[in-house]
Structure 1
Amino acid sequence: MQFTITRDRFVQDVQHVAKAVSSRTTIPILTGIKIVATEDGITLTGSDSDVSIETFIPKEDADSEIVTIQQPGSIVLQARFFAEIVKKLPGEDIEVSVTDQFATTIRSGSSVFNLNGLDPEEYPRLPQLEEDLLFKLPQDMLKNMIRQTVFAVSTQETRPVLTGVNLETEEGELICTATDSHRLAIRKAKIEKNDNSLSFENVVIPGKSLIELSKIIDDSNDLIDVVVTENQVLFKMENLLFFSRLLEGKYPVTKSMIPTQSKTSLHLKTKSFLHTLERALLLSREGKNNVINLKTLDGQVEVTSISPEVGKVTEHIDAQIDGEEMRISFNGKNVIDALKVIDSEDIHVMFTGAMSPFVIKPIDHDNYLHLFSPVRTY
C-alpha cells in the first residue's frame, strides 16, 4: 500500500476515528486505527467494540486533489502513536507506504517514521444495519439535544440503563430523556422520518457515546441520518459513520414523574439565578453536600447556603412570584448544570411542595424541561 495525502485533512479524520479507540480494550487489534486505500480514496476506522467511527476521505473534494493512491492496500497502526505522529508532522503532505510484514513508513517534510503495523484482516468488520428505522435531523439540533440532556445521566454503574440517554419518537417528535434518579432532563424536537419508518421507544444510547458524537458533528443545519436497530444505533454524515451499541434494560417511565400543577411558581432571569447559585455553591461545596436553600419573600427570592466550618452566604434576587410561600432545599450543583444549558433568558420554576420534585423550564417555549428532587435538611 502506498498513498500521499494532504496533511490537514488527514489529521482531522485521524483525530475523529481516534475518539473511538480505547487503550483499555482486551482485544489488541482494537488499539489500532485501520487504514484502507482504494482507487476512490482512504477509509479510516477506529473502534472499542462499543463505539465505532469510520470516515472516508475522497480522492478529490471541491475540485482539489486530497489523495494520490500509488498502490491500494490496508494496514492497522497503533492509534496512540499514529494519531500523535500525524498531528506533529512538519510537511503539508504525508506519504504512507507499507511493505512486507506490515512494516509502515510515514514521510512528511524531512521527517521519516517507521512503525510496526498489525494485520488488517484481524480487524472486526463493522455491522451492516437494516435502515428501516431511519429519521433525519439537523446536526446543530442534535448537538444541542445532547448538550441539554447528557449532563443528567448517571455516573453510577449500579443501574447501567441510567448511564445513557433514552430516545423515543412520538407523533413526529424525537424525545430525549436523561435521569440519574435525582434530576431529569427532557428535550423534544421535530424530526423527518422515513415514510415506512416505525415509531420506537426505549432506545438507550450510552452517555459517553453521545459526548464523543457531539465533538464530531458540526454546528450546521446539514442533516444527519439516524438508523436504529435492536442493539445498535448509527449516525450517518456525508463522509462519516458513527456506530454505538445500545444499553440493555427497560428505561424508567418518566412522564408520570412530571407534576402538572404547581403551588408556587417563580419567573426568574436565567443568568442572574445561575450566578446567584454559583456564588452560594462556593460555601456549600465545602460540606460536600451542595445544599442550597431557597425561600420566597415579597417580590424576591432569598438564596442561602451554610457551611458550619466556613460560614454563610445570603443573597436576594428579584422574581415574579405566584402562589403560596415556599421554602425548599436542593442540590445546587444539579440546578446549575441545568441552567448552563438553558438558552432562554427567562425561566419558570414550579414548586408543588417543599418535599416534592420541582420543574424548571424556559418561558418562551416548551422544547425542554428539567426536574429536580429536593433535599431533606432536617
Structure 2
Amino acid sequence: MRISASQDTLHHALQNVMKAVSPHCLVPILSGIKLTAHAGGLSLSSSNTHMMIQYELSLEDGKLEILSTGSIVVPAAYLSEIVRKSPSEQVTLEVTEHLILTIRAGSSVYRLCGMDPLDFPGMPEANPSLRFAIPSPLLHKVIKQVVFAVSASEHRPVLTGVSCQLDKMGRFRFLATDGIRFASRTTELSVNARAGFTPITIPGKNLNELAKLLLGEQGTTEVALGESWAIFKTGNVMVYSALIEGTYPSVENFIPASPTTEVLVHAEDLIQAIERVTLLADKSHLLRFHTTGKRITLTARTAEIGDVSEELIMEHRTGADIDISFNGKYMRDILRSADSPRTTLKFTGRLSPIHIEPYNDAQTAYILTPIRTQ
C-alpha cells in the first residue's frame, strides 16, 4: 500500500473516523484506524463495538493519489496527531514492510507499528426493514431536539437511547425520556418500510456523534434501519450504530389531554430569566414558577446562601393562575432544544406533568415532571 494525500483532506477524514475510537479500549485492534487503499480511493474505518464509522476519500477530488493498494490498521491517536501537525501540504503513507506504516510529511519520517487488518471488525449488514432519505440539516435538528432527554444512567439501558417508531399515521417519530423529561419529534417523510416495522432504540451517544458529523452538511442522509444496526450515509461518511435491546416504555399517555392553563412566552426571555434565577437554586435546580395575570414570577433559594426573584411578561395566557416547581436546568434545556422563538407551556395542576410545545408546531412536544414542594 502506498498513497499520497493532501494534509487537510486526510486530517478532515481522520477527524471524522476518530469519533468511533475509544481512548480506553481494552481491545488493541479497536484503538486503531483501518486504512484500505483501493482502485477508487482510500477507506478509513474505526469501531468501538457499538458504533462504526467509514469515511471514503475519492480520487475524483484530485487531492488523493493511489500508488499501490493494500490495507493496514494503525494506532488512531498517533496517526491523527502526526497528520494534524504535519509541516507539509502533502502526506505520503506507505507500508514499507510487514505491518509497518511509514509516514512522510516534509522532512519528517515516521514509522508506526501496525496491526493485521484481517483482525479488524467487518462492517455489518443492516438487513433493513425501513429505508428513507432525509435532508441532513433536518436530521441534525431532529436529533438535537430529542437526544438531550435520554437517560445518563445505565440502570435502564433502553432509556439511554432514542426510540424510532412509525406512528399510526405512518409518520416517523423520534422519542427520548429519562423518566423526568420527555421529548418527541415527528417528521413527515416518505418511508419504505416492510409490513410490521418494529420500533428500534439507537444509543443517544451515537446519535450525538452523528449530529456532530452532520453539522454544516447541506445534502441528504440515507437511513437504513434493521434488527441489530442502523446505518446513516451522508456525503463521504457512513455511520453504523448498534441498537439497544429491550422494549421502550409506552409514551402514548405522556401528554396531558386537557390543560387547565396555557401560557405563551418568548422562549429566549424565559431562558435568560431561568439562567439568572437558577444561580441561587439548590442542588436540585429547584425553581418556582408562579403566574399572576400576565406576569410570571420565578423564584429560587438556597439555604444559608440567599434567594432571588424575577418577573417577566408573558405574551398570552388562558385559564387559571398556576403555581408550580420544577428543575430549572431541565426546563432551560427543553426550551433551547425546541429551537422556537415562542413556546407554549400547558399545565393541568401543580403536581401534573408540564407540556411544552413550540408555538404552531404540533410535530414537536416535550414533557417535564414537576417537583413536589410543601
TM-score when normalising by structure 2 = 0.96
Give the corresponding residue for 2:301.
306
**Alignment of structure 1 residues 315-354 onto 2, 5 Å:** 315-319=310-314, 320-354=316-350
Instruction: Provide the C-alpha distance between the structure 2 equivalents of 1:214 and 1:238, rounded to a whole number of angstroms.
Output: 14
SS of corresponding position for 2:8: helix
> Aligned partners of 1:205 and 1:132: how far apart in 2?
15
Question: Following the alignment from structure 1 to structure 2, what is the Cα–Cα distance between the partners of residues 258 and 355?
Answer: 14
Partner of 1:30: 30
Amino acid aligned to 2:301: I
Q: State the Cα deviation string for residues 82-126 of structure 1 (Å, max 9, x = none).
A: 111111111111100112221111011122111111111111111
Output the amino acid matched with 1:323.
G
2: CA distance, partners of 1:328 / 1:160: 31
Aligned residue number for residue 252 of structure 2:
255
Q: Distance in 2 between matches of 1:218 and 1:150?
A: 15
Percent identical pairs in the alignment equals 35
Structure 1 residue 266 corresponds to structure 2 residue 260: no
Residue 355 of structure 1 and its aligned partner are, at CA, apart by 0.6
Secondary structure at the residue paired with 1:314? strand
1:173 counterpart residue number:
171
Out of 41-50 and 119-128, give the one that drifted further.
119-128
Structure 1: unaligned runs, 5 residues or longer: none
Residue 123 of structure 1, aligned match among 112, 120, 123: 120
- 1:24 Cα deviation from its structure 2 partner: 2.4
Q: Does 1:359 align with 2:355?
A: yes
Aligned to 2:189: 191
1:143 aligned counterpart, secondary structure? helix
2:92 equivalent to 1:95: yes
- Show the 5 A alignment for 1:1-378: 1-61=1-61, 65-170=62-167, 171-194=169-192, 197-198=194-195, 200-284=197-281, 287-319=282-314, 320-378=316-374
Shift of 1:71: 1.3
Q: CA deviation at 1:202?
A: 2.5
Report SS of the residue matched to 1:99. Answer: strand
In the aligned structure 1, how far is the partner of 2:196 from the partner of 2:225? 10
Inter-partner Cα distance in structure 2 for 1:299 and 1:340: 23
SS in 1 for 2:245: coil
Deviates more, 1:32-41 or 1:201-210: 201-210
Deviation at 1:134, TM superposition (A): 0.7
Q: Is the 8 A contact 2:134 2:221 kept in 1?
A: yes
Amino acid at match of 1:190: E
Q: 2:201 is aligned with what amino acid?
A: V
In 1: Cα distance, 2:251 partner to 2:128 partner: 28
Q: Per-residue displacement from partner, 1:64-95 (whole Å, max 9, x unpaired)?
A: x2221111111100011111111111111110
Asked if 2 retains the 8 angstrom alpha-carbon contact of 1:139 and 1:222, the reply is: yes
CA distance in 1, matches of 2:22, 2:103: 23
Q: Distance in 2 between matches of 1:201 and 1:227?
A: 13
**Structure 2 CA distance for aligned equivalents of residues 90 and 280 of structure 1:** 50
Structure 1: how far apart are the matches of 2:69 and 2:355? 58
2: distance between equivalents of 1:256 and 1:364?
Answer: 21
8 Å CA contact 1:42, 1:57 repeated in 2: yes
8 Å contact from structure 2 (residues 263, 344) kept in 1 = yes
Q: Distance in 2 between matches of 1:155 and 1:190?
A: 29
One-letter code aligned to 2:300: S
Matches of 2:353 and 2:325 in 1, distance apart?
11
Shift of 1:219: 3.3
Once the two structures are overlaid, the 10-residue window that deviates more, 342-351 or 242-251, is 342-351
Q: Is the 8 A contact 2:127 2:227 kept in 1?
A: no
Deviation at 1:186, TM superposition (A): 0.7
- Mapped to 1, the partners of 2:89 and 2:37 lie a distance apart of 20
Q: 1:125 to 1:180 in 2, by over 3 A?
A: same
- Deviation of 1:201 (Å): 4.2
Q: Are the counterparts in 2 of residues 344 and 364 from structure 1 also a CA contact under 8 Å?
A: no
**Deviation of residue 277 (structure 1)?**
0.7
Partners of 1:133 and 1:198 within 8 A in 2: no
Q: Is the 8 A contact 1:263 1:350 kept in 2?
A: yes
CA distance in 2, matches of 1:343, 1:29: 41
State how far apart, in whole Å, the 2-side matches of 1:324 and 1:201 are.
Answer: 42
Unaligned stretches of 5+ residues in structure 2: none
